Each structure stands twice: as C-alpha cells, then as structure tokens.
Amino acid sequence: MSSIYGPSSSTVHRPLEPRPEAIAEAPVDAANSNDIPLARLSSNRQAPPALAPAGDTRQPSATLKTYSEQLRPSPSLARQAQTLAHALHTGKPVLDNLDQCQARMILEGKYLEEHPRAAFPIINAQLFPERDEQGRFLLPDALADSARDTRLQLHKALGELGKNPGAPDLAAYGQVLEQAITQQTELFAGKAAQYAEVLARPGLPEADRAQVLRSEQAFARHAAQVANEIPQALKQAQSKAQATVDALRHLNQPAAEWEGINQQLKELVKQTSQNGDFKDALDNARLPVTLADLHQANDGWAATTKAFVTGAVPQMLASGLAFGFARAAVEAAIPDNLPVQLFATGAVMAAAHEVGTNLLKPMGQELVGGWSLAPVKASEVIPNPNPRISIGGVIQAPDAEAKAQAKTAVETLRGQHKNAQQANKNGTGLGELQAYGSFATAQAIRRGLGFAAPQLHVNNVGPRTLASMGGGVLMGGVQSSMQLRSTATDERGRELPTHTFKQVDKPLSQRLAKAAGDAVLASNPSDTEVRQSLLSKTFGSYLGLGSAALVGAAGRAVGAAGPAQKFGQVMLAAMGSPALLIPAYASFQSGPESKAHSAALKARADSQALPGAPAESTASAFPRTRSAVQNILDPDRADLAHGTLPGTAGRVAENTFHRVRGGLQVASQVPTELIENAPQLIKTAPAALAGLKNSVQQAFAATPATTEESDDPQPPGAYPAT
C-alpha cells in the first residue's frame, strides 16, 4: 500500500542562509575540479555546515533542531496523520486507493497551511515519521522513492563520467540514463494523474478541495525545480563527452566508446527538451505553477492599468498622426476641390499610417517601459495529454481510445484558447467593434463640444488631431487591457490566460535603436511587401474617405438649426468614424490574412502530396485578392482570425462581418496587385488575349472540336470546402 507523496528521505544541499527548506537540501560536491557540479541528493539528515555552530560540527546543531521542531505538524494534525497511518496498516476502516490518495493530499495541504514555506519532499517524513528497525519509513512512496534512487544513480554516473578517463561501460551507463528518465516521467505523470482524478470527484467538499489544491501546487513547484536537474545534468555531461571525443581525436586515440556516450547523451537531451513522454509528464505536473505565475503577473487593477497604458500611448501616437493630423492638415490645405482632396488625403494617410505602425507604436511601447503584451502559447497552458491516467487511484497507461479522446479534448481547448487570444484584436469582430466604438465616441464628443462651446473651433486641425488621439487612447487601452484579462477555461474550471507582459532585459536606448532599425527595414521601397502594404492602405483609405464623405454630405443636409438637428449631427459625427475605418482596417489586414491563407494552402498541399513526390504549388500572383475572395466564400475557415467560438450565434455574426470585409478587400486589393504585377501582366498580355480569342472561337464553333481530358484548372484543395 503506497503513499502518494514525498520521498522517504530528505534531499539536501548547502544553503546560503538558514531557512526551513534547508533540511531538505544537500551540499554540492565540487572538491574535484573534474566533477560535474551537480547537487548530490542524499538521505543523510546531518546538519548542513551553514546551519552548524562555529565550533564543533560533529553533532547536530541546536539550530537544526530548532528548525526541525518548527517544521513538525501541530498536535491536531499529527493525530490525524496517525489515524490515517493506523487505518492503512490495519485496514480498518477499509480505504480504496483513491480514498488513500485523497486523504494523503488533504493532510499534505493542511501541513502546508501550517508551514507554507516547507519544501515538498519533507512533508511525508514530517507527517509519518515512524520507521522500522532498518530506519526505513513505515509508509514509503514507491513511485517517489524509485525516482529519487534513479536520480541518485544518474548523478553518480555523471560524476564518474567526469572523473574516469577510461572507456565507460556503454551498456550500464545507457541503462542508468534511460531508467532515470523513465522513473522521473512516471513520477510526474502519475502524481499529476492522481491529482486530476481526486479533484474531479463529485461531492468533494470545498474545504478539502482547497487542501488538495494546496498540495498540488507544492508538488508542481517541486516538479519544476527537480525537472531542471536532469536536462541540465545531461547537457553538462554531453559537453564533457564531446570535449573528450575531440581530445581523443586530436591525439589520434580510439574514441568509439566516448562517441557512443556522446550520442546517447544527445538523444536524451533531445528527449527531455522536446515533445515526448518526459516533457508531457513534466508540463502536466508543473501546470499549476505555470498558471499561478501567469495570474500573479496578470491579475489586479495595477496590471490592468499597466496594460491599458501600454496599449493606449502607442495607439494614441499612431492614430493622432494618421487619422488625425495627416487627414485634417491635407483637407485644410485643399478645402474646395473634393476629388483632389480625397486623392491627396488617402495617399498621405496611408504613408502616415505606415510611419505610425512601424515607428511610432514600437517606440511608444518602449517609452512607457516596454510593457508590451506577449501572447501565451497554447501549449504552455494546455499541455499535451498526460501519458498516464489514474483510475481509482491506480496509475496506468491510457488505451488507444482514451488517448484519442484526450488528444481531441486538448485540440478543442487549444482552439478555444486561440479564439480568446484573437478576440480583442483588429481583424476580428469584437476587436474592430472596440476600435470603431472608441473613435466614434471621441468624434461625437468633439462635435458635441463644438455645439456647447462654438469658440473652440472643433473642426480645425488641432481639435481633430486631439480627438483622434483620444480615440487611439480608448482603442489601444481597451484592446490591450481586455487582451490581458481574456482567458479560456479548462475542464477543471481553471482560467488559462491568453496574454502576459513581455519581459524587458535591455536598456531603453538599445530598445529604441532596435525599433528605429526595424522601422527602416519595414520602409524599404524595394521590398514587394512594403510596396503592396502602402498601396493597400492607400486604396483602403480612398474607400473609407469616400464613405465618410457621404456621411458628411448627410450631415450638411440635416443642418444644425435646433436641438434635434444638433443631436443628429453628433450621431453622424460618430458614424463617420466607422464609415472611414471599416474599409481602411479591412485593407490594413489584407497582408497578414493573405500570408496566413497561403501558408494554410501550402500546408494542406504538403500533407496531401504522395510520398517522394513534390507538393503541388499553391503560389498565386494575386494572393491578397485570393484571400479576400475566400473571406466572402469561406469566412469560417481556420486560417482566418476569429474571436468567437464555432457554432455560436456570435460566430454567425462574425462571419457576416468577415464577408463584408472581404468585399471591401476585393475593392482595395485588386488595384493593389494589378499595379504591383503590371509589368508582368503587360508582358504576358498578348499570349493571354490570344488564348482568350481561341477559347471564344471554340465555344461558338458550329462543330465542336474533339475534346480531350485535361487537368482540372483549379486543383483539388486549393480552396477549403465550405
């Protein structure tokens, strides 16, 4: 009958200062310069030197005794642990494996409530200190003990590898390495599976659930700490083995055995660093810590305010330049000739938006502290399925059906996480609604102030620029703060963050220099993408300015004689922003959307290609127009950003929005790509016209020509099924 937690003996290293965790750590053996500096795990409970008095260190110190006494459970908790131990030994009352797991976890949680700083490995010894005549714990944990023992063997083998200049025993060495990885995988996967089963039990009291969660959190932190030992140790040993191989080759001595060791270590480093059972088990075991750390960084009004500022300031600068100052200045300079005004304003707005996006926004983010948000990888908070499951407290490998179900559940949850991650960004229905509402509010306030205080002259360049800056503050702040607070929810009800703050590790001067350098690269006119981006924004701005002009004409027709007309003017001023922004933003998103669609088509073609055969080409001279058409025909496809869940009313509304955007994108992307491809089109025009003439002649011929089978002009899979 095995316990659930904790090795049967403490692990010890040399502490920097006295603290409760010290009795669970062990000294580093660095006496031999050739020894790999790894922590030597030990069951020795003697006082670390840092805790010993300055004099005689042969006896356990009073300091160690004091900390040991402090870490003892309270009398009440000790009695509860004794009661459980008696039940497990006598079988009265009878507890099945899952009940045992739950009881142990609850006691561990209570112990951690009394001793929040206690290291996880010592909890078992503190709750169940009884030993037999040989000094072994009466309630051992076979799973944790095996992992600890093989970890000891691994450290010993790696240490001997650094000391022994002779040829190592390949078979024995490989067995130790494989066993260490296997046992650690079983520990991580098994514990995580048992926690999941206990927490999923119906009717688990909230008080008990809190204790189990506390225990799970402590084990997760222990797993995260221990997990670094093996990969780091393997990397150090692999470096040592590679150096030995190089030295032997240099001396023209046999190196086959060391080459074998080096290759084994390379494979194990890969196994512990990339996807596989070890990493999957570790990711599941330390998930509670990952989520806790993310929530600690994200939660609270201080974090929300920080996110608001990091989104508001850069967007204020970009919007104030492009949609405020640039537009207002050009329209003020050309007040009487509407066609010329629209033509000049659209081109200047597009260029200003490029400057704002590529230079002002990145620099603005750095100036406010580099607090930009970074998306959280779905795999970080939704790991691959656990390679082990727990049924009735018994750990076992899942069968094929269970594996398939777990994989489907993970993929579904990752899709939900992706939708939540995209929801508050331009290109999705909700994200653009936030943008339209922000600028509409700012323009309505500007127009209302004009009626309330005519002396402000709100139609001048300055007030219009300030209104656009205010709209940028609202848009950027709302979107950024909502991104920080957006989450997906897993089957346990845990909130999985979609964004967190990006870590800043360089001084401001270097970050500003990098932002300026990136802006220069993004403005290179010899780059096709740069030219198309500018053309796309120009034609999108033309469409937006045209629709905004219609709203302005309606405003002039309404007049402003009375309160009702003035209210109508305020509403029309608010409507003018979406009229401008909807076509403009549609064109702004064409580039990223066409790249995503082209990548999806290529991935599909690669997956459908026969083994050994080249994949079918999916390249197009008009990729932007192609993706725009697909936005109309298939707005629900996976490569198009969505902020709503599939099959919901929100998704239906968002797909309608994407269809409208697709139509506007066709209007802006066709001229964009025609201009970009004009030289090639002119070169191939005669052949194209000749082919068209032949096709027309054959279609209307009195006697149809003999037809032959021909390749499908539209290869299968070029467009996703609707």
With cut-offs at 50, 70 and 90, classify the pLDDT of residue 718. very low
For residues 594-601, give the mean pLDDT.
92
CA–CA separation, 62 and 58 (whole Å):
12
**pLDDT value for 367:** 87
CA–CA separation, 8 and 46 (whole Å):
16
pLDDT in tens, 676-713: 988 888 888 787 667 666 766 665 664 444 433 333 33
* CA 193 from centre of chain: 24
With cut-offs at 50, 70 and 90, classify the pLDDT of residue 475. very high
For residues 220-239, give the mean pLDDT.
76
With cut-offs at 50, 70 and 90, classify the pLDDT of residue 22. very low
Helices (H), 251-286: 256-273, 277-285
**pLDDT value for 699:** 58
The answer to whether 504 touches 425, Cβ cutoff 8 Å, is no
Q: What percent of the chain has pLDDT over 90?
A: 54
**pLDDT value for 372:** 87
pLDDT in tens, 46-58: 333 333 334 444 4
CA–CA separation, 530 and 514 (whole Å):
19
With cut-offs at 50, 70 and 90, classify the pLDDT of residue 107. very high
pLDDT in tens, 502-535: 988 888 888 889 889 998 888 888 899 999 999 9
With cut-offs at 50, 70 and 90, classify the pLDDT of residue 239. confident
**pLDDT value for 703:** 44
Residue 629 has pLDDT above 70, yes or no: yes
Q: Which segment of 93-102, 170-179, 456-465 scores lowest on mean pLDDT?
A: 170-179
Computed over every residue of the chain, the mean pLDDT equals: 81
Question: Distances in Å between the alpha carbon of 332 and those of 320, 325, 348, 559?
Answer: 16, 10, 13, 21
With cut-offs at 50, 70 and 90, classify the pLDDT of residue 621. confident
Residue 27 has pLDDT above 50, yes or no: no
Coarse DSSP helix, strand, coil percentages of the chain, rounded to the nearest 5 percent:
70, 5, 30
pTM of the model: 0.79
With cut-offs at 50, 70 and 90, classify the pLDDT of residue 134. low
Which sign, positive or negative, has the C-alpha torsion 445, 447, 448, 454? positive
Counting every residue written for the chain, the total comes to: 722
Residue 252 has pLDDT above 50, yes or no: yes
Higher pLDDT, residue 692 or 217: 217
